[in-house]
Structure 1
């Protein structure tokens, strides 16, 4: 007789998800393979998710809800599950980001996580030692806040260096810059580029993000190599606002920023073979 792994549903959101999936599947009299056939996946995947060896996706959750008639249970759970896959030090920030009414960020090295394509995010996250698939899925889940009926107003100032750093290679960067250009048509999003010729500027110390809320004190957030730091200190927030105003003033306009992104995309990441590629 096969051993069935026992889960503690109170151990984590992922354990609860797996426990509920097994409970409801068995309540419908379905084996793992049978449910897999209904939702177009393998029974092995069902088993891996039920035993927390694999993290579910939103698409998987929606298909399970439809198959088992669970009234959206797994679609509601998946956000919590994916957020729990983020590094523990980052989870408090992600929770506040999801509640923010206004986000303003300056990024000196990378495209901000909310604006990353999946391929770009995978290249960035692959530099660490964690489960890349889970982290990429969680990062894509974070971006759902931009698809709400009323998303947060978001303003990003990107250093020009971000456009030139070839994260993931030419095709990944071309896709990422194309995505940034598409955001120019997003009514709640603004992207500016701080050009190299701005010289010394108000945030040479590095990247930061400020968040405003309808019913919560403002928050200022920075990261170091291994952790993140949030504060609601009024003096810090005033200084951050002052610096951000200077950054916006020194940056190119939204329209000129889009023109620069398009030019870099074509000149640096145009359709030609990757270096070292065989013709």
Structure 2
């Protein structure tokens, strides 16, 4: 609802109209337009179509309205992807390997293990994770900053080859200009307890959306008074975390445990 309201407002401002002018164009009151834009009311489908046409939105406003009647699971997936695609900055607190940094093999194994609790179609879930990772490869890729628990490096998934591939991929991603990984040392893990995973999206207009996963698909928080609490939490953990180079060193050490170097003087057979 909030996203729909923001889209109506954005297209209206782009057209140079006031709320009263848009109301006259679609035979509604100024207060009705105000309710739509602040997310307190949802326009009927026919009204959304009229607003879309009046603002030359080319179906964007109507599609957002239409999604409110769609399958809620599909909408949660599409909303996370939209938030990631529109973000200029993504901050994440992660207890486990971030969905933005997984290899496909690692993701498939994790998703398979979670099917009993979360349900759904495995191939659909793998495809969704692939789309999430692809956000980092777009021309307008966001700046991604992640704080995650050092103990996450010990959570083996699959065999040694899977973990070797996962940690190698994480090392490569950590060297990208738009990616910053920071490990929270074990000595600070009591600060991390019960936090779980938190993803903070910030778009070009400075709006912040917080996502927290759950068995029902997760919740989205957009109220500024609440989102600032998560931003402050991220900043606090970031100050406690190791810097980027120290974190990369620990990831490299974990990788060496899965693929130890050949001892000096030995001969490969």
Task: Report TM bin, short chain.
Answer: 0.5 to 0.7
Residue 139 of structure 1 corresponds to which residue in structure 2?
129
Q: Does the 8 Å contact 2:81/2:131 carry over to 1?
A: no
Taking only aligned residues, the RMSD between alpha carbons, in angstroms, comes to 2.1
Q: Does the 8 Å contact 1:93/1:230 carry over to 2?
A: no
Q: Distance in 2 between matches of 1:150 and 1:96?
A: 13
Following superposition, the deviation at residue 183 of structure 1 comes to: 1.3
Summarize the Cα distance change of 1:121–1:202 in structure 2 as closer, same or farther, 3 Å threshold.
closer
Higher helix share: 2
Summarize the Cα distance change of 1:112–1:165 in structure 2 as closer, same or farther, 3 Å threshold.
same
Following superposition, the deviation at residue 98 of structure 1 comes to: 1.4
> Given the alignment, which residue of 240, 243, 247 partners 2:237?
247
SS of the equivalent of 1:226 reads coil
Structure with more contact order per residue of length (Cα contacts < 8 Å, sep ≥ 6): 2
Q: Distance in 1 between matches of 2:155 and 2:166?
A: 12
> Given the alignment, which residue of 172, 175, 190 partners 2:165?
175
Say whether 1:116 aligns with 2:110: no
Say whether 1:265 aligns with 2:255: yes
Q: Distance in 1 between matches of 2:260 and 2:246?
A: 23
Q: Does the 8 Å contact 2:210/2:227 carry over to 1?
A: yes
Say whether 1:107 aligns with 2:94: yes
> Given the alignment, which residue of 196, 201, 205 partners 2:195?
205
Following superposition, the deviation at residue 161 of structure 1 comes to: 1.9
Say whether 1:93 aligns with 2:83: no
Summarize the Cα distance change of 1:224–1:190 in structure 2 as closer, same or farther, 3 Å threshold.
same
Q: Distance in 1 between matches of 2:245 and 2:146?
A: 14
Summarize the Cα distance change of 1:245–1:221 in structure 2 as closer, same or farther, 3 Å threshold.
same
SS of the equivalent of 1:219 reads strand
Q: Does the 8 Å contact 1:202/1:246 carry over to 2?
A: no
Q: Distance in 2 between matches of 1:232 and 1:263?
A: 39
Q: Does the 8 Å contact 2:182/2:244 carry over to 1?
A: yes
Residue 179 of structure 2 corresponds to which residue in structure 1?
189
Normalised by the length of structure 2, the TM-score is: 0.64
Deviation per CA, 1:91-131: give whole Å up to 9, x if none: 322221111110000101x2111111011100111121433
Following superposition, the deviation at residue 271 of structure 1 comes to: 5.7
Q: Distance in 2 between matches of 1:193 and 1:206?
A: 15
Q: Does the 8 Å contact 1:202/1:243 carry over to 2?
A: no
Q: Distance in 2 between matches of 1:230 and 1:163?
A: 28
Q: Distance in 1 between matches of 2:150 and 2:84?
A: 25
Q: Distance in 1 between matches of 2:107 and 2:132?
A: 12
Following superposition, the deviation at residue 90 of structure 1 comes to: 2.9
